[in-house]
Structure 1
Amino acid sequence: MSKTIDYKFPNNNNPIDIYSNPACYILNVDSDSLKDLLVCASDGASMKNNNKIYYYKNTGTNNIPSYNLQSKQFLLDKTIDVGEGSFPVSYDINNDGLIDLFISNSGLHRESYLDSNSILHSVFYSTISFYKNIGTKANPAFKLITKDFANLSLHEDLINAYPAFGDIDNDGKAELIIGDLKGTIDLYKNTGTITNPNYQLIEQNWIKSSNLSSYRNLTPAFCDFNSDGVLDLIIGNKNGTFLYFKNKGTKSNPVFELQSSKFGNISTVDTDYSYFGYSVPCIIKDENKNKIFSGSYSGNIYAFNIINDINDGLVEPDTFFIANKINGYQSSIALYDFDNNGFLDMIIGNYAGGVNYYKGIKNVKQNIKKTDINNCQISLFPNPATTDIFVKSNLNSTIHYEIINLMGEIIKKGDINSSQNKINILNLQIGIYIIKLYSNETKGILFKKLIII
């Protein structure tokens, strides 16, 4: 039997063309009973890491498929994807009273090459995407203005860019500082106007500190910690600790001096995932107290209350604040009351390059200690199923459920309890689903895989 290789699969007009390690997935994307084709890169080290998910619709049959290209940006054209790693930062850049959104990245693919030993090398560069808030205080609406704010792509050695804004020379316009992979912080000045900012690099390695040079992946944040009228600096880093630089200068002439390289003995390291913590600070004032939130390598979001004066270096964990690892590795966080309802909202970035949005609701903190639903005895049967599934549980309370397809859409939701524990799935398409289970009487969320045949 002769065999031939099709170098233009799945068709001559629109073949798959992905730089490295294409991964193919056969599944029913559009719920028409025919299995379609999705293709993306699977090599995280060297891929062109944005805008590359091919969707080929099957216009033939499942036995003899005919794949026709529908999009090279499947789902990506409906969401945010800034490349490898996403770091959201909120700031009102044009002073119009509406908070804007900036999302930097670890890197975008610039080029790849083979060295003399035929080893593949890839070159990346960092950028900042600027989303201007064109909505209102109650109804924010973010419009993408540029994917290369401050022209960071011109700086070839800039990787893992992380921005922070603050008016440190008292001219009414915020300066921009950027921490990076190699452990330096660069200073950019707005040479334009407040309404039409134009940031230019003024000084590389702006913070001169022998201690700072030994750290990597710097993530700075401004805040007037000691309420003396000048902005201080907290800087996260790869080690998962925080460096505190006190501003001993004036409003127009800042002088930052290192006060602590392990502020509050905070650590975002979770050794189940890594010996590095990748702390990423976000500082807010809550009930007249400074509070430090932080992303981490594990994906956990940490919160710490600063006790008394920041110079004491005393912090306590905020144990009520919970955000689990579903956000993805190397999480980072932006907190602000975006819809002006009195509660903080949260935008979380992650290694995959997208962002998650969480709307703030009323604090329902109670003194009753709740059991984690993941520690309860909950099972689904039969699984796989065809017409009905049953939920067996040792809980006496109502359990809320959501059945979610692989596109993230909620297909069905409802409640179950000890007297009614059957869920009818007869009208659902054959395929793989995720069922989300949670209860008001427990904490946490339980996810289980559901197969419908």
Structure 2
Amino acid sequence: RLVNEGSSTTPSFRYDGHLDVGGGYHLLPAFGDLDADGDLDAIVGTWSDQLRIYRNDATDGSLLLNFVDSTSIVLSRGRNATPTLGDIDNDGDLDLFVGESSGTINFYENTGTPQSAEFTLVSDEYGDFDIGRRSLPVLRDADGDGDLDMYVGSESDGVVLFRNDGSRASPSFVQATKLDVEEISFAAPAFADLDGDGDDDVLLGLGAGGLQLYENRKR
């Protein structure tokens, strides 16, 4: 965990220890409110085919993650699970997409409620995603049209944008372009406005460790 001790326009990050999400190799978290209590819970991908669910029991806005389950979400193919959460069907709860070692995307619909998530596998070869190996998806509205698009990192092809040409309730993804960043191996993208200028910058996790920051200077 890196804590920003700078400001909203000039960040300065300090290492503040690890999140308590158990042991293992290649842990990758996705955060979202899975029980409608107003804080961020977590689903953590691992090098295996299992994903771990953690409930945030903090009451002060921080993270206090308590283990819930590691058997309800198991990949039907591949390993190296890389989750991302988002309401892809506009029904008010968070659905789950998971990348994995063979390069496909797994889609789990949330068939529960906003208060009690329950993920049901719809497809382990979702859409026409073809990025080679080690898919790592991130849901984000890339074009400001109100629906969720998907960026997918990969083993050797950088980060590819799949634009949602459908709607908020019925997505249809079409490969659009590559993100204009270095084509690093095992690219793990994350987006946030780190300089307070109103647009999202890009942090790339690197396969060999470390981070690369790309400032969004589009006006």
TM-score normalised according to structure 2 size? 0.83
What does residue 68 of structure 2 align with? 145
What does residue 304 of structure 1 align with? 214
Instruction: Letter of the 1:100 partner, please give it.
Output: D
Question: Is 2:34–2:116's contact at 8 Å kept on the other side of the alignment?
Answer: no
Structure 1 residue 265, shift from structure 2 partner = 3.9
What is the CA–CA distance in structure 1 between the aligned matches of 2:165 and 2:21, rounded to whole Å? 39
What does residue 341 of structure 1 align with? none
Matches within 5 A, 1:234-383: 234-239=151-156, 241-260=158-177, 262-268=178-184, 277-286=185-194, 287=196, 288-308=198-218
Structure 1 residue 82, shift from structure 2 partner = 4.1
Among candidates 81, 89, 92, match of residue 161 of structure 1: 81
- Could you report, residue by residue, the CA deviation over 1:318-352 in whole angstroms, capped at 9, with x for unpaired residues? xxxxxxxxxxxxxxxxxxxxxxxxxxxxxxxxxxx
What is the CA–CA distance in structure 1 between the aligned matches of 2:143 and 2:217, rounded to whole Å? 12
Identity %: 24
Question: Is 2:31–2:85's contact at 8 Å kept on the other side of the alignment?
Answer: no
**Unpaired segments of 5 or more residues in structure 2?**
1-19
What does residue 10 of structure 2 align with? none
Instruction: Letter of the 1:138 partner, please give it.
Output: G
What is the CA–CA distance in structure 2 between the aligned matches of 1:166 and 1:139, rounded to whole Å? 21
What is the CA–CA distance in structure 2 between the aligned matches of 1:298 and 1:215, rounded to whole Å? 19
Determine which structure has the larger helix proportion and give its number: 1
- Give the aligned length: 199
Structure 1 residue 251, shift from structure 2 partner = 1.0
Greater CA radius of gyration, 1 or 2? 1
Instruction: Letter of the 2:180 partner, please give it.
Output: G
Instruction: Letter of the 1:295 partner, please give it.
Output: G
3-state SS of paired residue (2:180)? helix
Question: Is 1:289–1:305's contact at 8 Å kept on the other side of the alignment?
Answer: no
1:97 aligns with 2:17: no
What is the CA–CA distance in structure 1 between the aligned matches of 2:82 and 2:173, rounded to whole Å? 19
Question: Is 2:181–2:214's contact at 8 Å kept on the other side of the alignment?
Answer: no
Q: Which has the higher contact order (CA 8 A, sep 6+)?
A: 2
Instruction: Letter of the 1:242 partner, please give it.
Output: V
3-state SS of paired residue (1:233)? strand
1:188 aligns with 2:122: no
What is the CA–CA distance in structure 1 between the aligned matches of 2:154 and 2:213, rounded to whole Å? 16
Among candidates 23, 32, 52, match of residue 129 of structure 1: 52
3-state SS of paired residue (2:189)? strand
1:207 aligns with 2:127: yes
Change in 2 beyond 3 A, CA 1:218/1:133:
same
What is the CA–CA distance in structure 2 between the aligned matches of 1:207 and 1:285, rounded to whole Å? 29
Question: Is 1:93–1:100's contact at 8 Å kept on the other side of the alignment?
Answer: yes
Question: Is 2:21–2:67's contact at 8 Å kept on the other side of the alignment?
Answer: no
What does residue 396 of structure 1 align with? none
Question: Is 1:82–1:105's contact at 8 Å kept on the other side of the alignment?
Answer: no
What does residue 88 of structure 1 align with? 29
- Could you report, residue by residue, the CA deviation over 1:377-426 in whole angstroms, capped at 9, with x for unpaired residues? xxxxxxxxxxxxxxxxxxxxxxxxxxxxxxxxxxxxxxxxxxxxxxxxxx
What is the RMSD of the two structures over their aligned residues, measured on CA atoms?
2.0
What is the CA–CA distance in structure 1 between the aligned matches of 2:55 and 2:116, rounded to whole Å? 12
- Could you report, residue by residue, the CA deviation over 1:89-130 in whole angstroms, capped at 9, with x for unpaired residues? 2222223210112211112xxxxxxxxxxxxxxxxxx11111
